[in-house]
Amino acid sequence: MLGYVSAHQALLNVTFRLMDQTDEVIESVIDTGFIGFMTLSMDTIQALNLLFIRRTPANLAEDSTIFVEVYAANISWNGEHREIEVLATGSRPLIGTLLLEGNSLNVQFAKGLLVNVDSQ
C-alpha cells in the first residue's frame, strides 16, 4: 500500500467496504502512538453507517482516561478483507498500530515522498 507525506504526517488511504453502498476511501494519518485499529469522527461513523459494538475506556497521551464508542468496520487492507474496530473520537481519521501489526512501515519524512506499508 502506498501513501504519501504531507505537513509532516504520513497519510494512507483506507477503503471501507460498505454493505449495499459503494466503497468509501478515507485519507488517514498513521499514528504509531495509538494502540488500536482506527479512529473516525462520529459524523464519519454515522455517514458510513457502522455497527455499534460497545463503549470502552481509552487512555489519552496526557494520561487521562475517557470512554469512547467502538464500531465494527470492514476494510480493504493490502488487498485483503479485514474486519476491524473503529473508535469514535477526534476529527482526523487515525490508523493505529493494531492495523499495522504484521506489516512493515517505511516513511520518508519529506513533503510528497512515499509511505509504504507491506505485509511481511
Can you give the pLDDT at residue 88? 95
Can you give the pLDDT at residue 71? 97
Q: Does the pLDDT value for residue 72 go beyond 90?
A: yes
List Cα–Cα distances, 73 to 84, 105, 108, in angstroms: 5, 22, 29
Residues 2-40: pLDDT tens digits?
889 988 899 999 999 988 778 899 999 999 988 999 999
* Cell numbers given for 115: 509511505
Alpha helix (H) residue ranges in 1-115: 42-48, 97-100
In which domain, by residue range, is 14 found?
Answer: 2-119
State how many domains the chain has. 1
Q: How many CB atoms lie within 10 A of CB 76?
A: 16
Can you give the pLDDT at residue 90? 85
Instruction: Grade residue 120 by pLDDT with cuts at 50, 70 and 90.
Output: low
Which CATH number characterizes residue 15's domain?
A: 2.40.70.10
Whole-model pTM: value is 0.88
Q: Does the pLDDT value for residue 110 go beyond 90?
A: no
Give 21 or 54, the one with higher predicted confidence.
54
Q: Is 30 exposed, middle or buried (0-12, 13-18, 19+ CB in 10 A)?
A: buried
Instruction: Grade residue 66 by pLDDT with cuts at 50, 70 and 90.
Output: confident
